[in-house]
């Protein structure tokens, strides 16, 4: 076709008109507005089922777990005593050890008690041996005791501390109240027994009986002195009483 063909000209003119008409319609049509926020719908995640795995994938996933179980079974089979306790860790052995410890503790306490009691008994025995052993004197001492002519006194007539080291005690007993010419002196220790008996003691010019004794022969305790006069027949008659207390040394 030539440039001056009327058919081509009319076609292009119609196309331009249609385009301008469409543009005008677009300008006249108002732009769409967004709905208010309360009308909007929030997105919700849908729970969709996953497609089933392929047959080969499931077998490959379960294979490591099966191998792990097999390894655990082999380990337990190879070491059967791994979870077993040693013989000395079992309950009967532990209970036996606890019972043995309790018995040993009781025996130890009883042994300590017996040892302390035996030690105290040994100390007391040593003290008795010391008091009962006659030892050499180192000095002299005069002890004057006035007898009671009626009976035993309510309180001791004399109290002295046991001499240590030993002394020579010179006992002086006034008997001026009695008319006997000779006397017998009987000394008893309370809760023990008779210590000595001295016969035919004659008073001096002052009407006093004198008797010297070693203090180591008298241990701590209470002693009772009984004076008895001799009659013309040789019989002994009570003539005086005295109480002497020898205190233990501090």
pLDDT at 222: 92
CATH of the domain at 153: 2.60.40
Strands (E), the chain: 139-144, 158-161, 167-174, 183-189, 193-201, 208-214, 221-230, 236-247
Most distant CA pair in the chain, distance: 207
Cis, peptide link before residue 243, omega less than 30° from 0: no
- Do 235 and 154 share a structural domain? yes
Strand, coil or helix: 48 = coil
Residue 15 CA to residue 25 CA, distance in Å, equals 16
> Among 127, 147, 75, which Cα is nearest to 248's?
127
Q: What is the mean pLDDT of each run of 10 residues along the chain (250 residues)?
A: 51 68 62 58 67 66 55 53 72 90 93 92 77 76 92 91 87 92 93 90 92 85 93 91 87
CA angle (91, 95, 100) in 5-degree steps: 150
Specify whether 126 is located in the same domain as 159: no
Residues 180 and 243 in one domain: yes
Residue 145 is part of which domain span?
Answer: 139-247
145 and 193 housed in the same domain: yes
Classify residue 103: in a domain, yes or no. Answer: yes
pLDDT of 173: 93
Question: What is the pLDDT at residue 3?
Answer: 47
Identify whether residues 116 and 191 lie together within a single domain.
no
173 occurs within a structural domain = yes
pLDDT for residue 2: 46
| pLDDT in the model for residue 68 | 55
On whether residue 214 sits in a domain, the answer given is yes
Are 194 and 121 members of one domain? no
| Residue 71 belongs to some domain of the structure | no
- Residue 111 belongs to some domain of the structure: yes
Q: Is 14 left (phi over 0), alpha (psi -120 to 50) or beta?
A: alpha
Tally of domains within the chain: 2
**pTM higher than 0.75, yes or no?**
no
């Amino acid at each position: 076709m030539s440039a001056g063909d009327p058919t081509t000209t009319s076609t292009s003119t119609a196309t331009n008109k249609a385009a301008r008409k469409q543009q005008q319609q677009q300008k006249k049509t108002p732009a769409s507005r967004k709905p208010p926020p309360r009308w909007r719908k929030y997105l919700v995640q849908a729970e969709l089922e996953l497609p089933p795995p392929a047959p080969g994938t499931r077998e490959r996933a379960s294979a490591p777990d099966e191998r792990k179980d097999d390894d655990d079974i082999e380990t337990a089979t190879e070491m059967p005593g791994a979870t077993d306790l040693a013989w000395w860790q079992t309950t009967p052995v532990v209970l036996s050890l606890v019972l043995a410890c309790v018995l040993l503790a009781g025996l130890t306490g009883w042994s300590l008690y017996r040892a302390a009691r035996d030690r105290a008994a040994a100390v007391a025995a040593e003290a008795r041996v010391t008091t009962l052993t006659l030892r050499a004197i180192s000095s002299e001492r005069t002890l004057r005791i006035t007898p009671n002519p009626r009976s035993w006194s309510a309180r001791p007539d004399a109290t002295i501390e046991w001499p240590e080291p030993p002394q020579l005690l010179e006992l002086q007993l006034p008997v001026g109240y009695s008319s006997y010419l000779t006397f017998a002196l009987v000394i008893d220790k309370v809760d023990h027994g008779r210590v000595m008996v001295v016969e035919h003691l004659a008073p001096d010019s002052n009407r006093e009986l004198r008797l010297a004794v070693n203090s180591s022969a008298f241990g701590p305790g209470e002693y009772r002195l009984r004076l008895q006069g001799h009659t013309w027949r040789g019989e002994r008659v009570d003539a005086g009483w005295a109480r002497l207390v020898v205190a233990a040394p501090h």
